[in-house]
Amino acid sequence: MNNLCSTTLPKIEAYNIKNVFKSRAHYSYPTNSFLYSSCSTKNGGKITLTLTFSSKKSVFCKLETSKSENNTKGKKKSSQLPTKTIIAAPEPGGAPTVSGGGAPVEPPENKKVGSRLLKGLPKKVLSVLSNLPLAIAEMFAVAALMALGTVVEQGENPDFYFRKYPEDNPALGFFTWRWSFSHSTEAIRKQEYSDTLPRASVRDLGVVLMGAGYEVFLKGPSLYAFKGLAGRLAPIGVHLALLLIMAGGTLSAAGSFRGSVTVPQGLNFVIGDVLGPSGFLSTPSESFNTEVHVNRFSMDYYSSGEVSQFHSDLSLFDLSGKEIMRKTISVNDPLRYGGITIYQTDWSLSALQIMKDEEGPFNLALAPLKINGDKKLYGAFLPVGDTDSTNLKGISMLARDMQSIVLYDQEGKFAGVRRPNSKLPIEIDGIKIVVLDAIGSTGLDIKTDPGVPIVYAGFGALMLTTCISFLSHTQIWALQDGTTVVIGGKTNRSKGELPDDMNFLLDQVPEIVESSSSSSSTQSDIVSG
pLDDT 10s digits, 362-380: 999 999 998 777 788 999 9
| pLDDT value, residue 511 | 86
Q: Are 85 and 34 in contact (CB under 8 A)?
A: no
Please tell me whether residues 152 and 63 are part of one structural domain: no
| pLDDT value, residue 485 | 94
What is the pTM for the complete model shown? 0.53
Residue 244's φ and ψ, nearest 5 degrees, are -65, -40
Strand partners, 352: 364, 438
**Coil, strand or helix at 146:** helix
| pLDDT value, residue 520 | 47
Give, for all 529 residues of the chain, the pLDDT tens digit.
433 333 333 333 433 444 444 433 333 334 344 444 444 443 444 444 444 444 433 334 444 444 444 444 444 444 444 433 333 334 444 433 333 444 444 444 444 545 555 555 566 666 666 666 766 777 777 777 666 555 556 556 655 655 565 555 555 554 554 657 888 888 899 888 999 999 899 999 999 999 999 989 988 899 999 998 888 788 888 888 999 999 999 999 899 999 999 999 999 999 999 999 988 889 999 999 999 999 999 999 898 888 899 999 999 999 999 999 999 999 999 999 999 999 999 999 999 999 999 888 999 999 999 877 778 899 999 988 777 777 888 999 999 888 899 999 998 899 999 999 888 999 998 899 999 999 999 999 999 999 999 999 999 999 999 898 888 889 999 999 998 999 999 998 888 888 999 999 999 999 887 655 444 444 444 444 4
Give the up-direction half-sphere exposure of residue 303: CA atoms within 13 A in the CB hemisphere.
0
**Coil, strand or helix at 274:** helix
| pLDDT value, residue 158 | 57
β-pairing, 359-365 vs 474-481, is: unpaired
Please tell me whether residues 290 and 397 are part of one structural domain: yes
Please tell me whether residues 427 and 499 are part of one structural domain: no
Q: b/e for 165-183, b at 16 or more Cβ within 10 A?
A: beeeeeeeeeebbeeebbe
| pLDDT value, residue 183 | 80
Please tell me whether residues 302 and 369 are part of one structural domain: yes
| pLDDT value, residue 260 | 94
pLDDT digits (tens, 9 = 90+) for 417-464: 999 988 899 999 889 999 999 999 999 999 999 999 999 999 999 999
Crossing angle of helices 229-255/132-147, nearest 10°?
Answer: 170
Task: State how far the Cα of 433 lies from the Cα of 361, in Å rounded to an integer.
Answer: 10
Range of the domain at 208: 179-228+472-528
Please tell me whether residues 269 and 391 are part of one structural domain: yes
Please tell me whether residues 114 and 90 are part of one structural domain: yes
Tally of CB atoms within 10 A around 9? 19
β-pairing, 431-448 vs 340-356, is: antiparallel
Please tell me whether residues 195 and 139 are part of one structural domain: no
Please tell me whether residues 250 and 275 are part of one structural domain: no
Q: Tell me how many domains the chain contains.
A: 5
Residue 394: its H or E element: strand 393-399
Please tell me whether residues 164 and 184 are part of one structural domain: no
Which residues touch 61 (CB under 8 Å, ≥6 apart)? 36, 52, 54, 78, 82, 263, 264, 267, 268, 269
Crossing angle of helices 202-211/498-506, nearest 10°?
Answer: 120
| pLDDT value, residue 231 | 82
Residue 498's φ and ψ, nearest 5 degrees, are -60, -45
CA distances from 16 to 232, 277, 382 (A): 74, 43, 12
What is the CATH number for 221? 3.30.310
Please tell me whether residues 217 and 348 are part of one structural domain: no
Residue/partner pairs of 205-209 with CB below 8 Å, 24 or more apart? 205/478, 205/485, 205/487, 205/506, 205/509, 206/478, 208/505, 208/508, 208/509, 209/476, 209/505
Please tell me whether residues 387 and 343 are part of one structural domain: yes
Task: State how far the Cα of 177 lies from the Cα of 166, in Å rounded to an integer.
Answer: 6
| pLDDT value, residue 165 | 56
Task: State how far the Cα of 89 lies from the Cα of 203, in Å rounded to an integer.
Answer: 99
DSSP state of 385: S
Question: What are the start-end ranges of the E strands in 92-151?
Answer: 97-100
Amino acid at 500: D
Closest CA to 222 of 474, 505, 487, 504: 487
Please tell me whether residues 312 and 196 are part of one structural domain: no
| pLDDT value, residue 150 | 58
Cite the DSSP H helix spans in 191-346. Answer: 202-211, 229-255, 271-274
Which residues touch 314 (CB under 8 Å, ≥6 apart)? 292, 293, 294, 295, 326, 327, 328, 329, 335, 342
Q: Are 405 and 385 in contact (CB under 8 A)?
A: no
Task: State how far the Cα of 247 lies from the Cα of 234, in Å rounded to an integer.
Answer: 20
| pLDDT value, residue 395 | 92
Closest CA to 292 of 337, 257, 332: 337
Task: State how far the Cα of 80 lies from the Cα of 268, in Å rounded to an integer.
Answer: 13
DSSP state of 175: B
